Copies of this chain bind each other. A is one copy, B any other.
Amino acid sequence: MLRMNRNERIAAITGILTSNPNTIFTLSYFSELFNTAKSTISEDAALLRDTFQKFGLGDIETVPGAAGGIKFIPQPVYQQAAAFVKDLCRRLSDPDRILPGGFLYMNDIIYMPRILKQIGDIFASRFLGKKPDFVITVETRGIPVAIMTAHSLGCPVVVARREGNVTEGSLVSINYVTASSKRLQTMSLSRRAVQKGGRALIIDDFMKGGGTAKGMQELLKEFDVEIAGVGVVIATREPEVKLISEYTSLMELLTVDESGRKIEIVPADWLNQ
Protein backbone atom coordinates (compact mmCIF):
# COMPACT_ATOMS: atom_id res chain seq x y z
CA MET A 1 0.00 0.00 0.00
CA LEU A 2 1.30 3.43 -0.91
CA ARG A 3 1.78 5.97 1.81
CA MET A 4 -1.17 8.38 1.94
CA ASN A 5 -1.11 12.07 2.56
CA ARG A 6 -2.94 13.55 5.48
CA ASN A 7 -6.09 14.57 3.58
CA GLU A 8 -6.54 11.06 2.31
CA ARG A 9 -5.96 9.50 5.72
CA ILE A 10 -8.44 11.89 7.33
CA ALA A 11 -11.08 11.02 4.73
CA ALA A 12 -10.59 7.29 5.15
CA ILE A 13 -10.47 7.37 8.98
CA THR A 14 -13.61 9.51 9.12
CA GLY A 15 -15.47 7.22 6.73
CA ILE A 16 -14.57 4.10 8.71
CA LEU A 17 -15.31 5.58 12.14
CA THR A 18 -18.62 7.28 11.31
CA SER A 19 -19.95 4.16 9.58
CA ASN A 20 -19.40 2.23 12.82
CA PRO A 21 -20.37 4.43 15.77
CA ASN A 22 -19.07 3.52 19.23
CA THR A 23 -16.86 0.84 17.76
CA ILE A 24 -13.18 0.86 18.72
CA PHE A 25 -10.61 0.68 15.93
CA THR A 26 -7.04 0.16 17.09
CA LEU A 27 -4.27 2.55 16.10
CA SER A 28 -2.47 -0.51 14.69
CA TYR A 29 -5.39 -1.14 12.34
CA PHE A 30 -5.07 2.30 10.79
CA SER A 31 -1.30 2.30 11.02
CA GLU A 32 -1.16 -0.88 8.90
CA LEU A 33 -3.90 0.28 6.54
CA PHE A 34 -1.97 3.48 5.75
CA ASN A 35 1.56 2.21 6.27
CA THR A 36 2.28 5.00 8.69
CA ALA A 37 3.31 5.52 12.34
CA LYS A 38 0.77 5.20 15.17
CA SER A 39 1.78 8.66 16.37
CA THR A 40 0.67 10.05 13.01
CA ILE A 41 -2.73 8.37 13.43
CA SER A 42 -3.00 9.90 16.90
CA GLU A 43 -2.41 13.34 15.44
CA ASP A 44 -5.04 12.69 12.77
CA ALA A 45 -7.48 11.61 15.48
CA ALA A 46 -6.85 14.81 17.43
CA LEU A 47 -7.57 16.92 14.36
CA LEU A 48 -10.73 14.92 13.72
CA ARG A 49 -11.90 15.43 17.29
CA ASP A 50 -11.50 19.21 17.05
CA THR A 51 -13.28 19.38 13.71
CA PHE A 52 -16.16 17.17 14.77
CA GLN A 53 -16.71 19.18 17.92
CA LYS A 54 -16.53 22.44 15.99
CA PHE A 55 -19.32 21.30 13.64
CA GLY A 56 -21.40 19.44 16.20
CA LEU A 57 -20.81 16.16 14.36
CA GLY A 58 -20.03 14.15 17.51
CA ASP A 59 -16.92 13.18 19.42
CA ILE A 60 -13.81 11.12 18.66
CA GLU A 61 -12.68 9.34 21.79
CA THR A 62 -9.30 7.78 22.47
CA VAL A 63 -9.59 4.57 24.48
CA PRO A 64 -6.34 3.72 26.26
CA GLY A 65 -5.00 0.25 27.05
CA ALA A 66 -4.42 -3.03 25.28
CA ALA A 67 -7.91 -3.18 23.73
CA GLY A 68 -7.71 0.55 23.09
CA GLY A 69 -7.92 2.67 19.99
CA ILE A 70 -10.22 5.38 18.69
CA LYS A 71 -13.97 5.48 18.25
CA PHE A 72 -16.64 7.81 17.00
CA ILE A 73 -19.44 8.85 19.37
CA PRO A 74 -22.52 10.41 17.75
CA GLN A 75 -23.36 13.38 19.91
CA PRO A 76 -25.92 15.75 18.48
CA VAL A 77 -25.54 19.18 20.06
CA TYR A 78 -28.51 20.29 22.13
CA GLN A 79 -29.65 22.99 19.70
CA GLN A 80 -29.63 20.58 16.75
CA ALA A 81 -31.59 17.95 18.67
CA ALA A 82 -34.11 20.51 19.90
CA ALA A 83 -34.61 21.95 16.40
CA PHE A 84 -35.00 18.47 14.92
CA VAL A 85 -37.65 17.44 17.48
CA LYS A 86 -39.47 20.75 17.07
CA ASP A 87 -39.66 20.10 13.34
CA LEU A 88 -40.95 16.55 13.96
CA CYS A 89 -43.72 18.02 16.14
CA ARG A 90 -44.65 20.41 13.35
CA ARG A 91 -44.88 17.52 10.87
CA LEU A 92 -46.86 15.33 13.28
CA SER A 93 -49.37 18.12 13.97
CA ASP A 94 -50.83 17.88 10.47
CA PRO A 95 -54.55 17.09 10.97
CA ASP A 96 -54.46 14.71 7.97
CA ARG A 97 -52.65 12.34 10.32
CA ILE A 98 -55.74 11.80 12.46
CA LEU A 99 -57.05 8.26 12.06
CA PRO A 100 -60.48 6.93 13.00
CA GLY A 101 -60.51 6.30 16.75
CA GLY A 102 -58.28 9.29 17.45
CA PHE A 103 -55.02 7.57 16.53
CA LEU A 104 -52.06 9.38 15.04
CA TYR A 105 -50.56 8.14 11.77
CA MET A 106 -46.79 8.23 12.16
CA ASN A 107 -45.46 5.30 10.15
CA ASP A 108 -43.86 7.56 7.56
CA ILE A 109 -41.80 9.12 10.37
CA ILE A 110 -41.03 5.93 12.29
CA TYR A 111 -39.90 4.09 9.14
CA MET A 112 -37.74 6.80 7.57
CA PRO A 113 -34.06 5.93 8.12
CA ARG A 114 -32.85 9.53 7.95
CA ILE A 115 -35.18 10.46 10.81
CA LEU A 116 -34.49 7.23 12.69
CA LYS A 117 -30.77 7.92 12.50
CA GLN A 118 -31.22 11.27 14.26
CA ILE A 119 -33.56 9.81 16.88
CA GLY A 120 -31.07 6.99 17.45
CA ASP A 121 -28.21 9.46 17.87
CA ILE A 122 -30.20 11.49 20.41
CA PHE A 123 -31.13 8.42 22.47
CA ALA A 124 -27.59 7.05 22.21
CA SER A 125 -26.00 10.25 23.47
CA ARG A 126 -28.63 10.47 26.23
CA PHE A 127 -28.05 6.91 27.48
CA LEU A 128 -24.40 6.18 26.61
CA GLY A 129 -23.31 7.14 30.13
CA LYS A 130 -25.67 4.51 31.59
CA LYS A 131 -23.58 1.87 29.81
CA PRO A 132 -26.27 -0.35 28.29
CA ASP A 133 -25.07 -3.73 26.96
CA PHE A 134 -28.03 -4.06 24.63
CA VAL A 135 -31.21 -2.35 23.49
CA ILE A 136 -34.54 -4.12 23.96
CA THR A 137 -37.91 -3.42 22.35
CA VAL A 138 -41.11 -5.31 21.65
CA GLU A 139 -42.39 -5.97 18.15
CA THR A 140 -43.33 -4.28 15.82
CA ARG A 141 -43.10 -0.54 15.63
CA GLY A 142 -40.37 -0.06 18.20
CA ILE A 143 -37.89 -2.12 16.17
CA PRO A 144 -36.66 0.57 13.74
CA VAL A 145 -35.92 3.08 16.52
CA ALA A 146 -34.30 0.34 18.61
CA ILE A 147 -32.08 -0.73 15.71
CA MET A 148 -30.87 2.79 14.99
CA THR A 149 -30.27 3.53 18.68
CA ALA A 150 -28.26 0.32 18.97
CA HIS A 151 -26.37 1.23 15.79
CA SER A 152 -25.36 4.54 17.39
CA LEU A 153 -24.45 2.80 20.64
CA GLY A 154 -22.53 0.01 18.88
CA CYS A 155 -24.49 -2.70 20.72
CA PRO A 156 -26.99 -5.44 19.78
CA VAL A 157 -30.79 -5.35 19.83
CA VAL A 158 -33.12 -7.86 21.45
CA VAL A 159 -36.74 -8.05 20.30
CA ALA A 160 -39.45 -9.40 22.60
CA ARG A 161 -42.28 -11.08 20.71
CA ARG A 162 -46.03 -10.76 21.25
CA GLU A 163 -46.33 -14.44 20.48
CA GLY A 164 -43.75 -17.17 20.80
CA ASN A 165 -41.87 -18.19 17.69
CA VAL A 166 -40.53 -21.67 16.99
CA THR A 167 -37.40 -20.31 15.37
CA GLU A 168 -36.13 -18.70 18.57
CA GLY A 169 -35.79 -21.74 20.83
CA SER A 170 -37.02 -21.93 24.42
CA LEU A 171 -38.73 -18.81 25.63
CA VAL A 172 -39.38 -16.92 28.82
CA SER A 173 -42.90 -15.48 28.73
CA ILE A 174 -44.82 -13.14 30.98
CA ASN A 175 -48.36 -11.86 31.01
CA TYR A 176 -48.96 -8.19 31.58
CA VAL A 177 -51.86 -5.78 31.49
CA THR A 178 -51.80 -2.73 29.25
CA ALA A 179 -52.35 0.29 31.43
CA SER A 180 -54.65 2.11 29.01
CA SER A 181 -56.93 -0.60 27.61
CA LYS A 182 -56.61 -3.07 30.51
CA ARG A 183 -56.05 -5.92 28.08
CA LEU A 184 -54.07 -8.99 29.06
CA GLN A 185 -51.06 -9.44 26.79
CA THR A 186 -48.21 -11.89 26.48
CA MET A 187 -44.57 -11.00 25.85
CA SER A 188 -41.83 -13.56 25.20
CA LEU A 189 -38.08 -13.49 24.93
CA SER A 190 -35.77 -16.19 23.70
CA ARG A 191 -33.58 -17.61 26.48
CA ARG A 192 -30.59 -17.30 24.18
CA ALA A 193 -31.20 -13.66 23.43
CA VAL A 194 -30.07 -12.23 26.76
CA GLN A 195 -27.11 -12.94 28.98
CA LYS A 196 -27.73 -12.82 32.72
CA GLY A 197 -26.38 -9.79 34.53
CA GLY A 198 -26.31 -7.35 31.63
CA ARG A 199 -27.75 -3.86 31.36
CA ALA A 200 -30.68 -3.10 29.07
CA LEU A 201 -31.89 0.08 27.44
CA ILE A 202 -35.66 -0.17 26.79
CA ILE A 203 -36.72 1.63 23.61
CA ASP A 204 -40.21 2.03 22.14
CA ASP A 205 -42.01 4.28 19.72
CA PHE A 206 -44.98 5.21 21.89
CA MET A 207 -45.95 5.22 25.57
CA LYS A 208 -49.39 5.82 26.96
CA GLY A 209 -49.91 4.11 30.32
CA GLY A 210 -46.45 2.53 30.36
CA GLY A 211 -47.77 -1.05 30.47
CA THR A 212 -45.57 -2.29 27.66
CA ALA A 213 -42.39 -0.78 29.09
CA LYS A 214 -43.34 -2.15 32.52
CA GLY A 215 -43.85 -5.56 30.87
CA MET A 216 -40.33 -5.41 29.42
CA GLN A 217 -38.96 -4.55 32.87
CA GLU A 218 -40.74 -7.57 34.35
CA LEU A 219 -39.50 -9.80 31.57
CA LEU A 220 -35.92 -8.64 32.07
CA LYS A 221 -36.09 -9.42 35.79
CA GLU A 222 -36.35 -13.07 34.76
CA PHE A 223 -32.88 -12.66 33.23
CA ASP A 224 -31.36 -10.72 36.16
CA VAL A 225 -30.85 -7.79 33.84
CA GLU A 226 -30.59 -4.22 35.13
CA ILE A 227 -32.41 -1.37 33.40
CA ALA A 228 -30.02 1.28 32.08
CA GLY A 229 -32.91 3.49 30.95
CA VAL A 230 -36.19 3.81 29.10
CA GLY A 231 -36.52 5.91 25.95
CA VAL A 232 -39.71 6.49 23.96
CA VAL A 233 -40.23 8.66 20.91
CA ILE A 234 -43.68 9.92 21.93
CA ALA A 235 -45.31 9.83 25.37
CA THR A 236 -48.88 10.95 25.94
CA ARG A 237 -49.46 13.60 28.62
CA GLU A 238 -52.43 11.61 29.99
CA PRO A 239 -52.38 9.59 32.14
CA GLU A 240 -49.85 11.71 33.98
CA VAL A 241 -49.04 8.85 36.36
CA LYS A 242 -47.64 6.02 34.25
CA LEU A 243 -46.60 2.53 35.29
CA ILE A 244 -43.03 3.62 34.58
CA SER A 245 -41.83 6.67 36.47
CA GLU A 246 -38.44 7.23 34.89
CA TYR A 247 -38.27 7.56 31.13
CA THR A 248 -37.01 9.95 28.50
CA SER A 249 -39.33 10.92 25.67
CA LEU A 250 -38.65 13.18 22.71
CA MET A 251 -42.20 14.43 22.29
CA GLU A 252 -45.30 14.78 24.40
CA LEU A 253 -48.71 14.18 22.83
CA LEU A 254 -51.43 16.31 24.40
CA THR A 255 -54.49 15.81 22.23
CA VAL A 256 -55.72 14.12 19.09
CA ASP A 257 -59.12 15.73 18.61
CA GLU A 258 -60.92 13.73 15.92
CA SER A 259 -64.00 15.94 15.57
CA GLY A 260 -62.13 19.24 15.88
CA ARG A 261 -59.35 17.94 13.59
CA LYS A 262 -56.57 19.13 15.84
CA ILE A 263 -53.37 17.51 17.09
CA GLU A 264 -51.29 18.99 19.87
CA ILE A 265 -47.79 17.62 20.20
CA VAL A 266 -44.80 19.39 21.74
CA PRO A 267 -41.11 18.67 22.38
CA ALA A 268 -40.47 17.03 25.77
CA ASP A 269 -39.52 19.50 28.51
CA TRP A 270 -35.80 18.70 28.43
CA LEU A 271 -35.72 19.64 24.71
CA ASN A 272 -37.73 22.80 25.16
CA GLN A 273 -35.52 25.09 27.19
Given the complex, which residues of B lie within 8 Å of A18, measured CB to CB? 14-15, 18-19
Whether B6 lies near A7 (C-beta < 8 A) is yes
Q: Which residues of B contact A104 (CB under 8 A)?
A: 167
Residue of B nearest to A206 (CB): B167
- The verdict on A52 contacting B166 (CB below 8 Å), with A6-B7, A154-B113 known, is no
Given contacts A113-B151, A114-B20, contact A156 B108 (CB under 8 A): yes
- Minimum Cβ distance to chain B for residue A54 (Å): 7
A interface vs B, CB < 8 Å? 4, 6-8, 10-12, 14-16, 18-20, 23, 33, 47-48, 50-52, 54-55, 57-58, 74, 99-101, 103-105, 107-108, 111-114, 116-117, 139-140, 143-144, 147-148, 150-151, 154-159, 161, 166-169, 190, 192-193
Q: List 16 A-B contacts (CB under 8 A).
A: A8-B47, A8-B51, A11-B11, A11-B14, A14-B15, A15-B58, A19-B117, A20-B117, A99-B168, A103-B169, A105-B190, A107-B193, A113-B148, A113-B154, A139-B139, A140-B143
